[in-house]
Structure 1
Amino acid sequence: MKTSSYIILLSLFILACRQPHKPGVVKAAPITVKKQAVKSAGSDTLQSGVSPAVSRWFDSMVVVYNANTNNPLVRTAIADKNLKEEWLFDQELHADTANYYVYQVGHDVADTDGRRFVTDSWIYADTLKRMLFELQADEKLTDWRAVKP
């Protein structure tokens, strides 16, 4: 009795595990990828794709922003001589009335967990009007007219 139950269970298990037959699977042709030569950036663009002319006016605006901002995080980081306040490109946004370069203003911190970038402020540079905006905690852009070129 036990052997017949084992045989029945084994045959049911084998039947349950059988793969169904896959109807007519056709293999696709292999895909070939063409390699193209990569152009160098040249002298008119930086690694981020931003032209040096944009970089020059923006860098001067951010230096003035760092010196005159009321943001307590940026002011504290600049006052600490051990920290170097930097700005990192994040993205480019296209709106109806403006194009923005979005940057993180912050500094590097090293501790037991390693080295990381701490963001003190988010700034938006309007490339059409050459104005700087600061992102507030309520996600509104504040016009920062003091750095208008």
Structure 2
Amino acid sequence: MKRLILSSLLAMSLSMSPALAVNPDEVLGDPALEQRARDISIDLRCVVCRGENIDESNAPIARDLRLLVRERLVEGDSNDEVVDFVVERYGEYVLMKPNTSGANVILWAAGPVLLIVALIAGGLYLRRRSQAKETAVALSSDEEARLQELLKD
């Protein structure tokens, strides 16, 4: 019973940890450079997988990007220079968190602005609806007679 519990706990802990696609031949010998490469890779999106960063992706382009990041770090580039190089080459799409400058301000602001507009429109609609007067239309004698016939059946 203890083995079953321990094995299930081990399986759950492994399933909750992020799966990294970094191959052993990609790992740099210098632990500090490798950590910098991992920090940069977390913020770069795989252009094929879209929802994964390049450390998690098994796509060939992600491997190429991981190698490119490590190559630039070995050459002496700073973290920002490496990211700028990759963005210049592949576009802003590779950033997991796009910049909040230029035309991207419109994209960042669109969600909150539309939420505020929807709340105002909903509030105005409910206000007008609560202030509207109910107008009851009286039935004619023919309509009243027909209604009574329908209700009797």
- The verdict on a shared fold, with TM-score over 0.5 as the criterion, is no
Between 1 and 2, higher relative CO (CA 8 Å, sep ≥ 6) is seen in 2
Question: Comparing both structures, which one devotes a greater share of its residues to strand?
Answer: 1
